[in-house]
Structure 1
Amino acid sequence: METTTTELNLQPSSQVLALLSACGAGVIWGTGALVVNILVAQYGFSPGNVSFWRFVIGAVVLVGFFWNRILWSRIAPLLPLIILAGAAMAGYVLLWFLGIEQMGAAVPTLIALCMPPVIVTVISIIRGQERADLQLFLVLLGALSGTVLITTRNADSAEHFGSGSMVLGVTFSLGSAFLYAGFSMVNGRISKALGAGPTAACLTLVAAVIMSLNFLFSPFIWPTEIPPQAWFLYLGIVTAALALLAFSWGAVRLSPTALTVATLLEPLTAVILSALLLGQHFGGLQWVGSILLLFSIWLLGRRVSANNEQGALAKGCNG
């Protein structure tokens, strides 16, 4: 009985910590979005160049830190999946940037961030990994509606873009969404087998190699000034290494639905920082969207805790 009680007390708290870890990854990625915007707008770096150095720095940090914990005998059976997941990670970032280049930031961001929770939820329900109920519907509805309100206030008008650019932008954004959904669904499996740290190291290394192919189209440029150098290091160490580590740790303990919903804090963080640091107006609808998103994540936390209490109780009864 003592063991069962311990499981009931520790298991839900572990799940809540995992949800907080995934939320932390979303917040960190939100700061990265602002930094990338600064590097592109103020210093003239291309998104591809920024992404390449971000992954390279992240890979160096993660591989250096977790080198002794990487068990190559465990990697070998998972190598094809690791390569696919790392390529998906590089691909969804690159396609998102390509979508933004074609039609501005608002619509690609909405597609790339809002579609993955829907995709992984549908797949998880079909596979019996997620229970379809009213609470799940409310979590998704609140989170997606909140994200829409947060990101569309300063949306670029479609009149500024041609029909060809719109089609390409939507295509790239859809590709980004599906790649991110796939990445989220397999990350947990890899992390369970290798550990969150080695998984983050391997995936970032693969992503850096994939992004290096962009050299075929344009050279990679390392900044010569101190401010952009500091931003590049921040992107690599914090938004690539630390954020992916937090994401992978959460992926071991959360469903893909919970994982992708939690990271919707990314656009909220970017918008809040833009208001605080760049003087952009934070409108009433964005406040409403923020409340909806935060309420949905709180409701998601209650759902995660309740589901795991039920699972621990059933395990104790069966034992």
Structure 2
Amino acid sequence: MIRGVLLIALASMLWATTGIVAKFLFATTELEAITLALLRLVVALPFFWLLMVRELRQISAGGAGQPGRHLLPRPGPTALLVLAGLGMFQAFYQGSYLLAVDLTGAGIATLISLCLPPVFVAILAAPLLGEKPRLITVLSLVSAIAGTAMLVASDMDTTGTLRLTGILMALLAALVYTGFTLTSRYNSAGTPVYTTAFICFLVAALLLLPVAWLSGGFAGLGTLKLKHWLMVTYIGVVPTCVGYLCFFTAMKTTPATLSSIIVTLEPLFVALLAWLILGEVLANIGIAGAIILTVAVIIASVSSQSQSASKENQS
């Protein structure tokens, strides 16, 4: 289990560097957020294709000689529809999150985008998945909203203005990621992990391509130098490919509740790196808001996981 915990912590740290590198790219080039989101997926796709091929070969080898078992998974129309939905959510999330980073800061954008979804999921699971929220979950939602308001107040205090568009984009990213999580829970087709990831990223890239093209997002590519292309490649390879590989590997041996808690390290890593590297400072009220928001996420995640486990035991 210790190895799994360390791998998830490493994945969270790698994911945290995405916003930092992206903010530097936005500040030093004319690269658009939508274009960077597309480039990230394009760079990552070949790696996930290789992981998918290896995964399917392992399934094929494991199914050989077993009567009545298909060598490869054959997702039906419903499963394909769910995978397409995941890809759509991924496209919207990538674009809205990176745009929020561009319009505000890496720290506040990540805190809002990633800390609110677990609480939203715990609440929305009631009407959508039949999981009645506990009182502690509702209190976590209230605390998360209060923490977010404190972050916004801190941002206004340190920047001298309300960066409303960026805040709204971060909230949109949080809502989109909530939809992604709920759709993932609905996916009961048992599609292999890396196959799901590849199809999801492929659909997202295909959706982002015309948006970037029609919005003139490719015009900014001419401002990228070699070091900038290396940064784009880094975002596509290290936090995306290596980060998800570490996470999926760790999930095989790490309890879901523990992993959900460790993942909350990502926004904290981002806030720390944004302070050390980008000079983004949170006022005292912002620090308090970040702590409240993180604690609310941990409580909501633990409550949701324990409730799901209890429901499975009863069934």
1:193 matched to 2:190: yes
- Quote the residue 1:84 is aligned against: 85
Could you tell me whether the CA contact under 8 Å between 1:151 and 1:267 is conserved in 2? no
With over 3 angstroms needed to count, the CA separation of the structure-2 counterparts of 1:134 and 1:242, relative to structure 1, is: farther
Aligned partners of 2:191 and 2:50: how far apart in 1? 16
Offset at residue 124 of structure 1 (A): 0.9
Kindly provide the CA deviation profile for residues 132-175 of structure 1, in whole angstroms up to 9, marking residues without a partner as x.
2232234334444444444652345557x8xxxx6x77876665
| TM-score normalised by length of structure 1 | 0.69
Kindly provide the CA deviation profile for residues 71-98 of structure 1, in whole angstroms up to 9, marking residues without a partner as x.
8643443222212210221113324455
1:238 matched to 2:238: yes
With over 3 angstroms needed to count, the CA separation of the structure-2 counterparts of 1:292 and 1:53, relative to structure 1, is: same
Offset at residue 45 of structure 1 (A): 1.6
Offset at residue 285 of structure 1 (A): 2.7
Could you tell me whether the CA contact under 8 Å between 2:256 and 2:305 is conserved in 1? no
- Quote the residue 2:228 is aligned against: 228
- Quote the residue 1:36 is aligned against: 22
- Quote the residue 1:291 is aligned against: 291
Could you tell me whether the CA contact under 8 Å between 2:150 and 2:286 is conserved in 1? yes
Offset at residue 241 of structure 1 (A): 2.7
Offset at residue 197 of structure 1 (A): 2.0
With over 3 angstroms needed to count, the CA separation of the structure-2 counterparts of 1:273 and 1:140, relative to structure 1, is: same
| TM-score normalised by length of structure 2 | 0.70
* Residue type of the alignment partner of 1:212: L
Aligned partners of 1:61 and 1:144: how far apart in 2? 38
Aligned partners of 2:235 and 2:127: how far apart in 1? 37
Aligned partners of 1:95 and 1:83: how far apart in 2? 18
Kindly provide the CA deviation profile for residues 61-117 of structure 1, in whole angstroms up to 9, marking residues without a partner as x.
11122223248643443222212210221113324455677x745997777556544
Aligned partners of 1:266 and 1:148: how far apart in 2? 20
Q: Which moved more, 1:148-157 or 1:74-83?
A: 148-157
* Residue type of the alignment partner of 1:44: E
Aligned partners of 1:50 and 1:274: how far apart in 2? 19
With over 3 angstroms needed to count, the CA separation of the structure-2 counterparts of 1:108 and 1:273, relative to structure 1, is: closer
Could you tell me whether the CA contact under 8 Å between 1:59 and 1:208 is conserved in 2? no
Could you tell me whether the CA contact under 8 Å between 2:73 and 2:191 is conserved in 1? no
* Residue type of the alignment partner of 1:93: Q
Stretches of structure 1 that go unaligned for 5 or more consecutive residues are: 1-12
Offset at residue 185 of structure 1 (A): 0.9
Aligned partners of 1:291 and 1:96: how far apart in 2? 21
Could you tell me whether the CA contact under 8 Å between 1:191 and 1:248 is conserved in 2? no
Offset at residue 38 of structure 1 (A): 0.3
Aligned partners of 1:55 and 1:29: how far apart in 2? 14
